[in-house]
Structure 1
Amino acid sequence: MIKEACVESLKEALLAEEKGANRIELCADLANDGLTPTFGLMKRTVAALKIPVMVMARPRAGDFVYSDVELVQMKVAINYAKEAGAAGIVLGLLTKENQIDVEHTKMLVEYAQPLEVTFHKAIDEMDDPVEGVRVLKTIPNIKRILSSGGKATALEGQEVIRKMIAETEGKITILVAGKVTNENVNEIQQLTGTTELHGRKIVGDLTL
């Protein structure tokens, strides 16, 4: 089981690693579900940790329909992540109809190479996240999809998550999120059958 801890500071990242996290998702402003962290924080965190760091590339809060200017900002975030030595980036783009924005997702995923790419919880805005998996598995270099199965919690979304995992055909990992904590992580892993889980408190409280 891979446990990815979601953090917004170097202190939290170090504590997560100490408590047994296998990977970090580094964000700013988790109150708004995570935005692009500063270049300085990226560099300091990657330098200080032994485990892989995934960097959020999200220029603003709100929806996942991005302008040309915001797409450029996401490219800048990718450049920073590369320069900092991050393992990968986390992004998600939708159309106004809440479908996967295939054109711009492909463009940014190609731009991100050789970094790993996780498509984030934007997929949970879709009416049918399973359809999102069907689309995303055709885009090379997307390694993971972060999802709670379109529900507020992984426990509520477990049935959809299982369908999403089946739909991947082993081509993409479903990284299960949605109120995953150190207390329920084993239960959620067993209920969904996933190999990777993600949460703010997946290895315990990091705000102590």
Structure 2
Amino acid sequence: MNMNYIKEACVETLKQAIRAEKAGADRIELCANLDAGGITPSFELIREVKERVNIPIRIMIRPRGGDFTYSQEEIRMMKMQIKYCKTQSIEGVVFGVLKRDNTLDVKTISELAKVAFPIKVTIHKAIDKTPNIMQALEQLSMIDSVTTILTSGGRTTAEEGKKTLRGMIELAQEKLEIMPAGSITTANVARLHEFVNAKAYHGKRIVCDFYD
């Protein structure tokens, strides 16, 4: 088993981003308002973090908390936010869109991924709300610009969903990077890796505790 895996730290301030890099994060996901599950950070914060951090940055694209079914105005806002990230040479963006029945809104995801091209696209934990996560994975594998899926395997934590996560990795093979998330910390990431064997893991406390 390859023990070299990417540790992606989820952060919401410049201070946290700098600290994550110093603590050994390989990549960061920058969000605002993590108490609401994470929304798009301000353009000013994106610019500041890009100027001060040397590791790759992925930006949460989410206009509000709550569900993942968006209005046309919210979709337009997401496209604008993605375009701004491209001007800042950000490595990737993170989003997810569902229909009212919680199936993937493949049409809108494809539109957003097209706007994002050529930067990387991560589909976030909205996939965990879908009624058939393996079917959703297959749908996403058909969208060329989608590179990563951030997921807890349909459960609250990665530990609870680890069997599904391993199945998702086997199904995705080399088409997509399956990145486990959900209460992954410095204390459990190595143990989880022994079971799941993913290439990357995500968490607020994956390299240090930002909230001491």
TM-score, normalised by the number of residues in structure 2? 0.96
Tell whether 2:131 aligns with 1:127. yes
Structure 1 counterpart of 2:190, which letter?
N
1:186 pairs, out of 176, 187, 190, with 190
Structure 2 CA distance for aligned equivalents of residues 45 and 115 of structure 1: 18
Structure 1 CA distance for aligned equivalents of residues 65 and 211 of structure 2: 22
2:151/2:180 contact within 8 Å kept: yes
Matches within 5 A, 1:106-185: 106-185=110-189
2:83/2:115 contact within 8 Å kept: no
Structure 1 CA distance for aligned equivalents of residues 132 and 165 of structure 2: 11
Q: Deviations over 1:76-95 (max 9, x none)?
A: 11022112221110000111
2:40/2:59 contact within 8 Å kept: yes
Matches within 5 A, 1:1-208: 1-208=5-212
Structure 1 CA distance for aligned equivalents of residues 19 and 138 of structure 2: 36
Structure 2 CA distance for aligned equivalents of residues 50 and 169 of structure 1: 29
Structure 2 counterpart of 1:69, which letter?
E
Structure 2 CA distance for aligned equivalents of residues 67 and 164 of structure 1: 30
Structure 2 CA distance for aligned equivalents of residues 189 and 32 of structure 1: 28
Structure 1 counterpart of 2:158, which letter?
A
* 2:168 alignment partner, SS class: helix
Structure 2 counterpart of 1:106, which letter?
S
Structure 1 CA distance for aligned equivalents of residues 149 and 26 of structure 2: 17
Structure 1 CA distance for aligned equivalents of residues 165 and 132 of structure 2: 11
Deviation of 1:164 after TM superposition, in Å, equals 1.0
1:39/1:84 contact within 8 Å kept: no
Deviation of 1:141 after TM superposition, in Å, equals 1.3
1:12/1:207 contact within 8 Å kept: no
Q: Deviations over 1:137-170 (max 9, x none)?
A: 0000111000000111111000111111111132
Matched pairs, number: 208
2:157/2:181 contact within 8 Å kept: yes
Deviation of 1:10 after TM superposition, in Å, equals 0.4
Structure 2 CA distance for aligned equivalents of residues 50 and 207 of structure 1: 22
| Structure 1: gaps of 5 or more residues | none
Structure 2 counterpart of 1:127, which letter?
P
Could you tell me the percent identity over the aligned residues? 41
